[in-house]
Amino acid sequence: MRIWNLEFLPEADKDHDKLDKSVRIQVDKAINKVLQNPLPDYEGGYGKPLSGDLAGCLKIKLKKAGVRVIYKLIRVDDVMKVVVIAARADDEVYEIAQKRVKDEET
């Protein structure tokens, strides 16, 4: 079984710090669960793949908290990198993720 390492983009780390304590606990639990097998669901993992400009990224939905965690996998290094943690207000979380992924690639 692969051991995945967890990393946060600096901006995602700030997102995490801004969360209400009770929401942060839920997010941490969800991330730690997915970290056990962050592969896409079609590969037997917990990740829900995204499409379009965010193809290659995956999401974790915390429905009750109204929060989405967007992450990407760096398979060669076995890293699950959190890109954004935000409320699913309209599609804002996905727009933020697109910008951060694009900025990281440049």
Digit-coded pLDDT (tens) for 17-59? 999 999 999 999 999 999 999 999 999 999 999 999 899 999 9
- What single string gives the DSSP state of each residue in 15-73? HHHHS-HHHHHHHHHHHHHHHTS-SBGGGTSSBEE--GGGTTEEEEEETTTTEEEEEEE
Looking at residue 52, its amino acid is G
Stronger pLDDT, 1 or 15, i.e. the higher one? 15
pTM, full prediction: 0.92
Q: What is the pLDDT of residues 70-104, one digit of tens each?
A: 999 999 999 999 999 998 777 889 999 999 999 88
The overall average pLDDT reported for the chain is: 94
**Is 61 within 8 Å of 53 (Cβ atoms)?**
no
pLDDT, position 92: 86
- Say how far apart CA 70 and CA 96 lie, in whole Å: 10
Confidence class for position 105, pLDDT limits 50, 70, 90: confident
Assign domain 5-105 to a CATH class: alpha beta
